[in-house]
């Protein structure tokens, strides 16, 4: 595998673009989990997800990136906002949205340790291997594979979505007896 030295990495323009994208992503993620304002937390999530979509584009996965934007940002985050509104979450800065220090510290520790382990493992395995130049993935190729090789998982996922749809309706249905239907 071809490697590149650390110094040479900074010479490539694409890598600077990467840094420009990665930093907001990480910042967005950081603020999602630490923000005291619930709406802002969800919106920082949007930032993070947008960053990941950009990274997908950099990797030539155009379709996936666009799907992320459409589905994640377009639907999932909307669901979060709906959930926030319906559950009348305390809006505003004075809300306590996280546990106290006695939880935060161990959690932070755990996160750091986890990151360290994973990072160390990956650096140890992949070092500075370069990704070979590639053509961006054609959506038609993706579609061919999806409906040829992966048609069964596709069908299964559609079943799951159906089940989720029906389940969601069944769970959240308003009724007169107080939620036992």
Partner 1 sequence: MYQFLALASQIVLAAGDEGEQVKEGGSEAIVPGITSGVLVEWAWLIVVVPIVAAFVIAFWGKKMPFKGWEAAWGAIGFVGLYGTVLFVLNASQGILYEGTVEIAEIGDFTLEWGWMVDGLSIMMYFLIGVVGFLVFTYAKGYMKGDIRFTWFFASFSLFAGGMLVLVSAPNLIQLIVGWELVGVSSYLLIAHYWEDYANVDAGNKAFMVNKVADAALFLGAIIMAVSVGSFSFNDVIDVVVKGEEGMLSQYAFWAGLLIFIGAMGKSAQFPLHVWLPDAMAGPTPVSALMHAATMVTAGVFLLGRLFPFYIDEAGIFAGDVRNIIIVIGGLTLFLAGLLAIVQNDIKKVLAYSTVSQLGYMVAAMGAGAYTAGLFHLFTHAFFKGLLFLGAGSVIHAVHSNNMSDMGGLRKKMPITFWTFIAGTLALIGIFPFAGFFSKDEILASMKFAGENGQDVANFILILGIAGAFITAFYMTRLVALTFFGTYKGHATPHESPKMMSYPLIGLAFFAVTAGWINFPGVYTGFTTWLATRVPLTGMGDHHAEGLDWSLVLIVTPVVLIGVAIGWWLYGKDKKSQAARDTFRIPVLWPLFENLYYIDDFYMNGIVRPTMGPIANVVLWWDRNVVDGIVNGVGLGSLGVAKAVRVFDQNVVDGFYNEIGAGVDELGSGMRKSFTGRVQQYAAFSFVGVVVIAVLFIIL
Partner 2 sequence: MTIIQFLLVGAALFSMGLYGVITRRNAVLVLASVELMLAAVNINLVSFDAYLQDQLNSGQIFSLFIIALAAAEVGIGIAIVLMIYRNRQSADVDELNLMKG
Q: Does 82 bind partner 2 (CB under 8 A)?
A: yes
Q: What six digits make up the tokens of 147?
A: 């409906």
Burial letters 122-158, b for 16+ CB under 10 A, else e:
eeeeeeeeeeeeeeebeeeeeeeeeeeeeeeeeeeee
The residues in 102-121 that bind partner 2, with binding defined as CB under 8 A, are 103-104, 107-108, 110-112, 114-115, 118-119
| Burial of residue 60 (number of CB atoms within 10 Å: 0-12, 13-18, 19+) | middle
Interior angle at CA 56, CA 54 and CA 59, nearest 5? 115
For residues 88 and 86, what is the distance between their CA atoms, to the nearest angstrom?
A: 5
Q: Does 127 bind partner 1 (CB under 8 A)?
A: no
Side-chain-side CA neighbours of 105 within 13 Å: the count stands at 3
Yes or no: say if 6 and 12 are a contact pair by the CB < 8 Å rule.
no
Residue 91's binding partner among partner 2, partner 1, none (Cβ under 5 to 8 angstroms by kind) is none
One character per residue 96-125, x = contact with partner 1 (rule: CB under 8 A): ---x---x--xx--x--xx--xx-xx--x-
Residue 124's binding partner among partner 1, partner 2, none (Cβ under 5 to 8 angstroms by kind) is partner 1
Residue 52's binding partner among partner 1, partner 2, none (Cβ under 5 to 8 angstroms by kind) is partner 2
Q: How many CB atoms lie within 10 A of CB 61?
A: 18
Q: How far is the CB of 94 from partner 2 (least distance, A)?
A: 14
Q: How far is the CB of 112 from partner 1 (least distance, A)?
A: 10
Q: How far is the CB of 101 from partner 1 (least distance, A)?
A: 15
The residues in 15-34 that bind partner 2, with binding defined as CB under 8 A, are 15, 18, 22, 25-26, 29-30, 32-33
For residue 74, the SS3 value is helix
Q: Binding-site residue total for partner 2 (CB under 8 A)?
A: 89
Question: What is the binding site for partner 1 (CB under 8 A)?
Answer: 99, 103, 106-107, 110, 113-114, 117-118, 120-121, 124
């Amino acid at each position: 595998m071809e490697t590149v030295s650390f110094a040479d990495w900074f010479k490539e323009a694409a890598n600077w673009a990467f840094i420009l994208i990665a930093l907001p992503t990480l910042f967005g993620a950081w603020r999602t989990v630490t923000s005291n304002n619930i709406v802002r937390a969800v919106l920082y999530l949007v930032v993070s997800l947008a960053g990941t979509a950009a990274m997908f584009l950099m990797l030539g996965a155009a379709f996936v990136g666009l799907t992320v934007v459409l589905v994640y940002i377009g639907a999932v985050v909307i669901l979060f906002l709906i959930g926030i509104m319906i559950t009348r979450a305390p809006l505003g800065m004075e809300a306590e949205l996280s546990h106290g220090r006695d939880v935060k510290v161990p959690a932070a520790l755990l996160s750091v340790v986890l990151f360290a382990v994973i990072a160390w493992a990956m650096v140890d395995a992949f070092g500075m291997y370069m990704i070979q130049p590639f053509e961006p993935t054609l959506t038609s190729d993706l579609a061919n594979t999806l409906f040829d090789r992966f048609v069964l998982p596709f069908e299964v996922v559609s079943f799951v979505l159906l089940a989720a749809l029906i389940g969601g309706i069944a769970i959240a249905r308003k009724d007169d007896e107080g939620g036992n239907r």
